Structure 1
Amino acid sequence: MKKSSKDISFLLVFSSLLYILEFSTAIDIINTTQIIRDGDTLVSYGGIFELGFFSPGNSKNRYLGTWYKKMPGRTVVWVANKETPIRSTSGILKIIEPGFLVIMDDSNNTIWSSNTSRVAQTPILQLLDSGNLVLREANDYNPDNFLWQSFDYLSYTFLPGVNFGWNYATDKNKTYYREDPIVKSVITRATLSQSGVAERWTWVEKIQDWVLYLSLPADNCDSYRLCGPYASCHIANSPACGCLDRFEPKDPKGWVREDWSSGCIRRTPLNCQKDDVFLKYSGVKLPDTQYLWFNENMTLEECKVTCLKNYSCMAYTQLNISREESGCLFWVGDLIDIRDLSSDGQDIYIRMDSSESGSHRRDLELPLFSLSTMSKATDNFSIYKKLGQDQTKSMLLDWSKHLQVLNGVARGLMYIHQDSLLRIVHRDLKASNILLDTDMNPMISDLGIARSFRGNETEDKTSRVVGTYGYMSPEYAVHGRFSMKFDAFSFGVIVLETVSGKRNSGFSSIDQHRNLLGHAWTLYKEGRSFELVDTYLHDSAYLSEVQRLIHIGLLCVQQCPDDRPSMNTVVVMLNNEGMFTASKSTWFF
């Protein structure tokens, strides 16, 4: 069907009218005579951002916000009345005298206000292509003279060019950090969640979606207060948290469970004296700045004197890192959120008791005894009065007491391996870490380098081998691998030391040049295990019990971890006289 020229002309005119109508409604500025009703919008000059009323998701509440105009969906970047939503579609936005921006409902109630403090002559509201909603004088384009701007009142989204921080001159949120757009064709934004996770997103036109570019925290050390007060986080260490030098864990048991929230305390408490000292800690990220005081004109020495006079001041540093010893910054209260940054960190001076100073001298009382007093006390230096070699040794620790102690240690290890909330490997079990009470009940101490396992974890590895040689399992000493069988090996060494009365470290048999483990293995193979027994135990020991205990010890020090019994099995073997599997070769140091 042919169309007449009259019809075509009508279509052209109608299309032009639609275009003009659409263009005319896409305004980016309003003045005091205009209002934005629910359903109307402001559109930035380049058509990048749009301002209007909206409802998030399935909510019926109405909010005034800014979003990207040309993108599918609605990515909101700023909200005005996020704390005071409107319950209907009656909201309006307008400028009132003497230069306030307000949102009102149908009852003429003010829902939200910009609360500007300056009087304007001819105020206008404009939505910029940066996404910034600004209230300014009609003929003043200088950003420094804006009456109000949305970039000073952020939500959870940050756009290029946004300002955030604190302006100490005006006592208002203002520019402290500024992210200027580098490539204007790239659309990017940053978000901050309520859990403290910051993410940077980039719009990819090809897939019509936002793509995550960067996420912070990048590692555990970026987590706020992870290590508690006076502790520092170093991501390369295991565990990552550690007390600052001259500090110690406030809750050692919590640290064993990898709960560092209680942090650390000074090993020498402060007495708030005028002779307190400040120790320098270098290469750190400065602590949280919530409670601090600053002075831009002080020198570093003046800062120290001021901090020393204030007993609430716990640390100080220079304020201006670009100029040496310029400005003063000091912290009131505990220091939290410290991180090791060995190459890029700063120096901080922390208040300590004067006894922690290297130059401090403390008077010590040294008791003196005359030769006649010592001769009388030792029965003229009799060898039978030598510590550990008098008759009290055999009376105090007979065979039954030895078995009681070993059984208690085995049960203690079984508990931390399988019955405690977190399964723990001690990693430094030795005779000096076993304490006895008045009833000879043992207690395992010094969990300073213990490690815990979660869930189905059974083994771990470290590049930093610590502990005591002579008690280390071979797989740990050589490869850094450790598991519950590490403690089983250490327990086996203690068993053989208990039976023989000799230390594994430094022991060497005269004929074979073996250590204690090798010597015990040789005697066991040759059926001469009784020769290993300490002479002080001969009167109270039964041959079968001695051989059984030596057999248990040799099972625990086998070279392969899988061959060693668990501590649960060891407890069973210590309390039963059944047959055991044959021991394989031991590890020789």
Structure 2
Amino acid sequence: MNQQVVDGETVVSAGGTFEFGFFSPDGSQGRYVGIWYKGLPVEKVAWVANRERPLIGSHGVLMINASDGNLVLVDDKNVPVWSTQVSSTSSNNTIAVLTAQGNLVLLDQNKLNESVPLWESFNHPSDTLLPRMKIGMNTITGEQIVLTSWKDDKNPSLGSFSTALVDPQELVQVLILNGSSKKHFRSGQWNRRSFIGVPSMTKDYHNGFQLLTDSKGEELYFSYAILNYSASTLVYLDSSGVIIQMDWDAEEKKWLRLQVVPKGQCDLYNTCGTFGSCKNNDSPVCKCLKGYEPKSIDEWNEGNWTNGCVRRAQFQCEEMATGPKSDDDERKRDVFLPVSGMKLPDFSHYLLTWDKMECENSCLKNCSCLAYAYVDGIGCMIWGENLIDLQEFSHGGEQLYIRLAHSQLDKRRQIGARIAIIVSATVGLILIVCTIYLLKIRKRGIGSLIPFCIASKQSSAANLLLNSFTQGSSSELPVFSFKCIENATKNFCTRNKLGEGGFGPVYKGVLANGQEVAIKRLSRSSGQGIEEFKNEVTLISRLQHRNLVKLIGFCIHEEEKLLIYEYMSNRSLDIFIFGSRSNDKVALSWNQRYSIIEGLARGLLYLHRDSRLKIIHRDLKTSNILLDEDMNPKISDFGMARIFGGNQTIANTNRIAGTYGYMSPEYAIQGIFSEKSDVFSFGVILLEIICSKRNNSYSHSKDDPLNLLDHAWQLWNEGKILEFLDPKVAGSLDTPTQVVRCILVGLLCVQEHANYRPNTATVVSMLCSDTVLPSPKRPGYSSKDRSPDDPSSSPCSRNSFTISNVEGR
């Protein structure tokens, strides 16, 4: 650009990616000069020139000043409102260029081959970081290159929040400041790969986030690059102090937003005060470190943690300084308690040593040293002041060693010794009992594994079936007598009935040894028969995972076939999210819902990838998800499950089994099942957990008969996805980004074509990380594509029971 640009004209970068010109934010009358992605909806302007001095009217002109070569913006009265203000220009023979990376540069035409701009917008960012842009500081002058938020969405002027780089010598951190000095968020120390306080960050974060210096070693700055420069992406600091990542989805033609930091209450600076540690999923989120107690118990119990915690006891070195030295002082020396998964405290000091023991000894010898850490990529860090801005992560983080007084160690040793004695005695007793037990088994045979063996009188068919179980790999599973089951259930008393599914009724029972169990009794009218019963016994007895229900044993007596499971005190998931005839919905918190979603995903991952057998469940639904006393989810009902062998990824059946609303389209219509058909069912369950509504009975309205999956997909496209959340949860929600991510994962799982759905390993990764997710395509069984009478849209009955054949019986 070597001529003027008037309002209404624009300059386009080489390649056509960026555009430079005049604009007005929505709802604003002021005119500004800025840079944005060309050809895309301008939801975020990447750079603004005249942030503090908007033009009134559309008569602004941007031009090269003939006298000094600066780029200058003037109003309708030719009064300058903004300029590049380069004072060292040796000539007025300058040009302005918008580069392919979105950098506006001022160049001296006489020195174009030197490739050093006189001025560039990348060194004067507004609130946005583009790829290859930088934030940092001059280590000589202390001058910072920072992001500063807009005042609000309609006003680009300087807002309250800004970034800052601190501790440039060794322990570099990035801050978000509220005002000139109040810390809003702290990234944690840079370990040459990532920030300790951002556990989701990896060495491949943003395809290359790096700490760099210039050739002279004067500038220290962070920058990120992306592998695909044709992708449109940016990161910005919004007016509330949150860093947002935006990525353009070319297929769906829309911007995707991801909240990077801060995400929860614990990400905010020093939420729990000095010596207090914060964990987002705990209630309350704050707790004092070991060896410390709240400074004010009353304030702490009221949820006011700002005053933090104080130490309970003096260190050994402090006692020695105030009193005479005794003979056992050496035995009472202070110790360090390791605490894992931590965001390390602020105000760390770097100690020049690469030996961990030397790091510990140096801290121990210094009475003012309160804690130390030894981190790969950094080395030794010590803290001699109050421990501030501590956070405990569920994943990631570093190990912090906290100094404890000897008196606290003694108590821990006494407790530990008592526990050790009890554990040793218990283990010894168990070993003796087990030895006697195994000897009896050898003498008496498989039928006497437990004192509840099968009855002697059996039909020939029952004996044949029993023999097929008590031979081979499944022989270790206990066999119960029918009399034992009758006694446990009080002759199948209706008061003990827990519910009923496609298999038949389920009863609560108490064995003679006092153990509570759940007993499934195969109904004679059930479509499931011998094969399903045998399938469940042989499969589930070989699977062990905390998110799979445990099968204790089985019983075969004449025409009776029963399965005995561990008892789940909270019964099934559907009761909690949908309610039952005798029970209104129990309001689950978001943390409980997310824990159930995550546990279910990990159980499914075990079935598909991590167990000795690759199992496709084929009948995942909320009624087959049981909850223990701690609300941990456990997958149950493996009657329809199938084993995949070797490298097998897909199978076909003429006998379709499943439940309407949970079956994938390719399985319901063509009988094709795979890992992706279970993923579809998981996606339905995930969405049901979030909104507390059934997919197979949901109707948006009489005039707009969207099913549940359609409704979620429509809200996603309209940018109203949080409206999908159960209103009982929405009012107390403090992690909306996690909800949005879960809904998106659910929609990705229920896409119509199996190839578009993620596999189970990817599902777990998407739920537990902060990677950018693709936009979902329309769900299967879309009510906009198929009529309710289309048999392909509803291949089985509309109740919650499992069906085992498409054909009527």
Q: Normalised by the size of structure 2, how large is the TM-score?
A: 0.34
Please tell me whether Structure 1 or Structure 2 has the larger radius of gyration of its CA atoms: 1
